[in-house]
Copies of this chain bind each other. A is one copy, B any other.
Amino acid sequence: MILDGRQLANKIKNQLANKIKLLDRHPGLGIILVGDRPDSKIYIRMKKKACLKVGIKNFDVSLSKDVDKETLIDEIEKMNKNGNIDAILIQLPLPKHLNEREILSKVDIKKDVDGFHCENVGNLTLNNGNFNAPCTPCGCIKILDHYGIKIQGKNVVVIGRSNIVGLPLSLLFLHRNATVTICHSKTKNLFEHTKKADILIVACGKPQFIKKEHVKKNVVILDIGINKIPFDNKKGYKLVGDVNYDSVLDKTLAITPVPGGVGPMTIAMLLKKTFFLSQTVTNPLSTMISTSNKSNNV
């Protein structure tokens, strides 16, 4: 079974567009880009395009890569106060002279669409009901739910422990009653862990790292990686994940392709979360991502 993130993301976007066109006031997303990293600019262009498609207004600010902290915080605070902005996204990574943690903590928690605010992280850890998890982990759980893949009681192995993907996703799986193993660069005998996984999450940033000999039969794989590799005798490049798709395919019960798997889901979750925040002005998100398995709504 191919877990088609593009198709599901389109379904979610269509549902959102239909809801938003009935609203008097359209949701607003504030986007702050610092510097001119080409990859960040591509991501922001994709996010803006997706917003427009569903009727979410963009409010974007670009700052030079040597902007001082005070100017950046001032822009965040303007967005915090702006009643037309429901959600604020600060494109990461920030230039090295800025302390990401300090900057992210300046975003009003009620507009923290990425779930990077410390208090949101605390609520996620404690499974506090009203929390906002980062977009990629939300997209991962959503796609499993959509395809009816059960999580409770499963051995989930997560490779990668970043604050954006691996760690928050591990916590979401734990709250859904999976038995979770978190692996990373210091893990010894990694493949002894991957071979035990019922659900394997690969977010280690190594192109086509996981192959058929590393997984058991009927594994479910979510491939978070997006890597450019040379192609056609270096005349071009292609995008591949952290999993060698062709190698593992026959052994999987289900797998997300790259591209077209988790990537589109990340953007769909950003849109959906922005919409939710616009509907719950005084509270952080109601659990859009269910931490029980009651609802399979997209």
Establish whether residues A180 and B181, one from each chain, have CB atoms under 8 Å apart when the complex forms. yes
Assuming the A-B contacts A121-B122, A122-B120, A125-B167, are A184 and B177 also in contact, with contact meaning beta carbons closer than 8 angstroms in the complex? Answer: yes
Q: How far is the CB of A199 from chain B (nearest CB, A)?
A: 13
Does A81 sit within 8 A of B, measured CB to CB?
A: no
Q: A178 contacts which chain B residues (CB < 8 A)?
A: 186
Bound together, the chains give a CA A126 to CA B153 distance in angstroms of 26
A119 lies within 8 A of chain B by Cβ: yes
Closest to A187 in B: B179
Copies of this subunit? 2
A124 and B126 CA atoms in complex are apart in Å by 12
Q: In chain B, what residue has the closest Cβ to A168?
A: B125
Measured as residues with beta carbon below 8 angstroms from the partner, the interface class of chain A is: 20 to 34
> For the complex, would chain A's binding face be called helix, strand, loop or mixed by DSSP majority?
mixed
In the complex, residue of chain B having the shortest beta-carbon distance to the beta carbon of A121: B122
Decide: B163 and A126 in contact? CB cutoff 8 A: yes
Report which of B126, B155, B180, B196 forms a contact with A101, defined as CB distance below 8 A: B126
**A128: interface (CB < 8 Å):** yes
A63 contacts the other chain (Cβ, under 8 Å)?
Answer: no
Q: Which of B123, B167, B177, B196 contacts A118 (CB 8 A)?
A: B123
Task: Report yes or no: A174 in contact with B182, Cβ–Cβ below 8 A.
Answer: yes
Q: Determine if B118 and A152 form an interchain contact, defined as CB atoms under 8 angstroms apart.
A: no
Q: Are A182 and B184 in contact (CB under 8 A)?
A: no
Whether A161 sits at the interface, judged by CB under 8 Å, is: yes
Query: Which A residues from 97 to 120 make CB contacts under 8 A with B?
Result: 101, 117-120
Closest Cβ of chain B to A132, distance in Å, is 12
Given A126-B163, A181-B181, A193-B179, do A186 and B152 touch, yes or no (CB 8 Å)? yes
**Residue A277 CB within 8 A of the other chain:** no
Residues of B within 8 A of A188 (CB): 153, 155, 179
Chain B residue numbers with a CB within 8 Å of A163 are: 126
| CB contact under 8 A between A179 and B174, given known A118-B123, A121-B122, A121-B125 | no
Does A183 interact with chain B (Cβ within 8 Å)?
yes
- CA distance in complex: A118, B127 (Å): 11
What 5 new A-B contacts, CB under 8 Å, besides A174-B182, A179-B183? A101-B126, A101-B128, A120-B122, A178-B186, A192-B196
- Which 8 pairs, one residue from A and one from B, show the smallest C-beta to C-beta distance? A122-B122, A118-B122, A121-B122, A177-B186, A181-B181, A179-B187, A125-B125, A153-B188
A: residues with CB less than 8 A from B are 101, 117-126, 128, 152-153, 155, 161, 163, 167, 171, 174, 177-184, 186-188, 192-193, 196
13 residue pairs bridging A and B, Cβ less than 8 Å apart: A118-B126, A121-B122, A121-B126, A122-B125, A125-B167, A155-B188, A161-B174, A174-B182, A177-B186, A179-B182, A179-B187, A180-B182, A181-B182
